[in-house]
Amino acid sequence: LPAANSWVVEGDLDPTTGDLWFAEFRNQALGHLPLGASAVTDVKTPSTGGAAFPALNDGKIYFSYWSLPRLGEYDTVTKRFVEYNFPISQSGGPISIGPNGDVMIGTRIAATSHIMVFDPKTKQIQAHAIPQSSPGLKDGLTVAPDGAIWFTQSSRNKIARLVLQ
């Protein structure tokens, strides 16, 4: 990696190009390794909240910030960033793309974790409280083909399923 101690949290593969993109938490960057390349290029994020979890969809990389209540978006074609503030003040966590293209982001406040749902068409984010005490969402989230959101409950030693109506 170009920067020592970048602290790579997670990555995602671009299915159209075969490029690997990953978050470099301490380096405040997205790492980019093009298919067949041997060197990583850092793309510095506009905010210094620690890029943590990325997910790719439709030529864009969406990523959460570990210590900021916002979603980052990087367009791999135009090379431009846009940031969207969460409707409530909770730091970002794991992220996944739903079957309809919506971006699902988990927040990491143990007693009041939420699932943020970003609609790329309307550019709006809705917050959905996880309906149980001490949800403990922290590091794992994926969306099933039927739209169900599966996530880890780190402080409870469980996995959970959430279906939004």
Three-state helix/strand/coil letters over 80-136? EEEEEECCCCCCEEEEEECCCCCEEEEECCCCCCEEEEEECCCCEEEEEECCCCCCC
Tell me how crowded residue 113 is: count the other CB atoms within 10 A of its CB: 23
| pLDDT tens-digit profile, the chain (165 residues) | 777 888 898 899 999 999 999 999 999 999 999 999 999 999 999 999 999 999 999 999 999 999 999 999 999 999 999 999 999 988 888 999 999 999 999 987 766 788 999 999 999 999 998 877 656 676 789 999 999 999 887 667 788 888 987
- What pTM does this model have? 0.92
d(CA 61, CA 154): 26
* CA-based nearest residue to 87, from 119, 57, 111: 119
**Helix (DSSP H) and strand (DSSP E) numbers for the chain:** 0, 15
